[in-house]
Amino acid sequence: MQNELFGVVAHDNKNDELRTAEEWSQEAQSLRAALHLHAHRYYNLDAPTIPDAEYDRLFQRLQKIEIEFPDLKTEDSPTSRIGGAALTEFSQVQHAIPMLSLNNGFEDEDVLAFDRRVREGLETQGEIEYAIDLKFDGLAINLRYIDGVFTQAATRGDGTTGEDVTENIRTIRSIPLRLQCENPPAILDVRGEVLMFKADFETLNQRQRENEAKEFANPRNAAAGSLRQLDPKITAQRSLGFFAYGIGYLEGAEKPASHRALLDWYRQIGIPTCQESAIVQGAANLLEFYRGIQLRRTQLAYEIDGVVYKVNRFAEQARLGFVSRAPRFAIAHKFPAEEALTQVLDIEVQVGRTGAITPVARLAPVFVGGVTVTNATLHNEEEVLRKDIRVGDTVIVRRAGDVIPEVVASVLDQRPLHTTSFLLPEHCPVCGSAIVKVQDETIARCSGGWLKCAAQRKGGLFHFASRKALNIEGLGEQLIEQLVDKNVVTTAADFYKLGVLGLSELDRMAEKSAQNILLALENSKATSLPRFIYALGIRHVGESTAKDLAKHFRDMDHLMAANEEQLLQVNDVGPVVAQSILHYFSDTLNVELVRQLIAAGIHWPQVEALDLSSAVFAGKSIVLTGTLPTLSREQASALIEKNGGKIAGSVSKKTHFVVAGDDAGSKLLKARELGITVLSETDLLEMCQD
């Protein structure tokens, strides 16, 4: 029963054709039990223990059995109901029109079959007009407006009865409390999704860590958990968003003729909708949109797990009607699974360029998020113990876009006997130096430093050569690893002592390639002071701080000689950063490295002390969000800084302007909430030109 409940194949390897009626009945019963259990954990507890893809697989298996053997279908089968029952802590709300779920498609063939069924149902051979929306990873909600005033909000619940979360929904600023129209309908039920934007999710988890509270596994859980707080004050402390995508009961107004017209009407009366939508003709264009948004998925400000296709015209939707638990006129086309189950084979530790010790789970190979994953980060010792990940555990692994795979949680019901908790080693696995913990830090570090520890040395050298530092093209991780392992390079200054003969003897390095590396090294000598400071790899000194240090001190000698009081005068430099800089330059080896690099020919233009007091953005804090039409993020930042502005990473009351491009997300919403001026790229260029 254990395997059946947690998504491992729920039947033996016998061919389906050879199975007995009793075996089919037993499997159907096991699948129903598993699906009930996981639905309860997902909808009622907000604590799922298997990935969505695993739940979908079990659901499809049960559907297949019940279609083939209708007598095995029971009244309580998960295939005939949606979601879970309302929680008893909230009062219950009866939906005027049921909130049904959608059938899922996973392959192109599923979408083509859906289109074929629609054309057959409408008795046409022509191409159908479809509306496309994103499938948000949040919580479905029904908002009721009476005479234009928000009066009630309810979750989907079991599709017929939901939970009354009115007071919590009132805390979501993007949801209007009164519709923006002179003659509102007597009753309007707005269907949509409550979600948490990625940036707000990171902020929430940071706050949870600071308060030593449990972190949320993903934005969907965070949104659901925030919305189900019995105290609305707690919900109000968490930034939630809302997008409308449908309509329920309507009285006292004429329903728009199509889905697109409905969303246009919503926007007019102040109800938020997502701009990432489309109207297309035919199945081929459905698939084209799907592939396009899949490529841009990681760039979106919120999580999605697919797209939704709907017949656009409501009259045609009515003709097609519903079947069982879902409409015939719509389907959800889900993305390939980005979560999967696998087993932890071992837990090792890796050493970063600053000596940071990172536990890494070695996994049984599993295909997730479009690639085969064999390793996943466990972040730090505290995180491993908090999640209680052990060797031998079956775990949920997540991968989103190009993000490093991470272990979400262990499936405790499948834990083997006699496992032991993770124990951080006392010595560095690379150099044998003691592993130490600094006060007020969660990260343990190798005490060997770059001179003793080859892992720190390799990381530091790769950072020095990276694009945002000295930008030495062709000098990648594999080449640097060889140079260090063969004792050719110890410090960054040794890069500039390399010759064609020494390089060409390395693996996969012909004479032509060696010449290209030497040319890239020569080109890298002409740099800027901020890049050079950043390339040194001083802890806590990122690109922005390096720019501030360069502006303030204007040359390396003044920076290296600065005391704590002088460092604290630099914009955004606090005690922690100041101490890190002082510690770096107190080491004579680091000072000597700077001297050697300059002696090797690295140079930069003199940093002039510019008077920007009258510049258009003098003293202004500016946030960039979204993709601008022509300027890259780096170009826009440089333009703003040239005109006296300071680039900030998040929107607050201290922000003066937000420059927004395409796919602007939560930062843009927050700017509008706070009444901050929003600029387009054109506005930015015109202001700087003036």
**Alpha carbons 142 and 255: distance in angstroms, whole number:** 17
Distance CA 634, CA 630 (A): 12
Contact 515, 500 (CB under 8 A): yes
CA-to-CA dists, residue 652 to 36, 639, 655, angstroms: 44, 22, 5
Determine which one of 14, 64, 73, 135 is catalytic.
135
Parallel/antiparallel/unpaired status of strands 139-146 and 187-195: antiparallel
Per residue in 34-57, is it b (16+ CB within 10 Å) or e — as a string? bbbebbebbbbebebbbbbbbbeb
Got the DSSP string for 550-563? HHHH-SHHHHHH--
387 labelled catalytic: no
Enumerate residues 6+ apart whose C-beta is below 8 A from 586: none
What tokens appear for 641 in the block?
A: 């800084």
Q: How many residues in total does the chain contain?
A: 690
User: Are the C-beta atoms of 648 and 655 separated by less than 8 Å?
Assistant: yes
116 φ/ψ sector (left φ>0, alpha ψ -120 to 50, else beta): alpha
Phi-psi region of 333 (alpha: psi -120 to 50; beta: other; left: phi over 0): beta
Are 141 and 155 within 8 A, CB to CB?
yes
Q: What's the Rg (C-alpha) of the chain?
A: 29
Active-site residue set: 135
